Amino acid sequence: MANLETSLKECLSSIDGATAAALVDYTSGMALGTLGGGKEFNLEVAAAGNTDVVRSKLRTMEHLGLKEEIEDILITLSNQYHLIRLLKGRGGNGLFLYLVLDSNRANLAMARHQMRRIESELEV
């Protein structure tokens, strides 16, 4: 089992094109840990803003009566992919992994595969 810091480092080192990663509590909007980002990309603001995306999708699914679970949410921009993966394991309720990828360098299928692996090893 990996701790938060190790898992975020693993996201950036093992996923091609990854530029930022965070573990976010979508009930409060707080980032529990962040790595990457920079002056041009405020990861704290992005993480907090994406809690609205998660909450909205969960609310919509509830209104539709869908009993399925969200695996991940993908937002594509002209030069970036934003990947949100809700944690399913023990202690992961209300949390998601947030990953920012450079779309010119990333392999989306491999990024999703790696995030699943990292999530399974994360001890919250």
Q: Give the domains, in start order, of the chain with CATH numbers.
A: 4-121 (3.30.450.30)
What integer pLDDT is reported at residue 122 of this predicted model? 87
Q: What DSSP designation does 82 have?
A: E
- For residues 121 and 89, give the distance between their C-alpha atoms in angstroms, rounded to a whole number: 9
pTM score over 0.75: yes
The closest of 37, 15, 30, 10 to 105, measured between CA atoms, is 15
Give the range among 29-33, 35-39, 63-67, 87-91 with minimum mean pLDDT.
Answer: 87-91
pLDDT digits (tens, 9 = 90+) for 39-85: 888 999 999 999 999 999 999 999 999 999 999 999 999 999 999 99
What integer pLDDT is reported at residue 25 of this predicted model? 94
pLDDT band at residue 34 using 50, 70 and 90 as cut-offs: very high
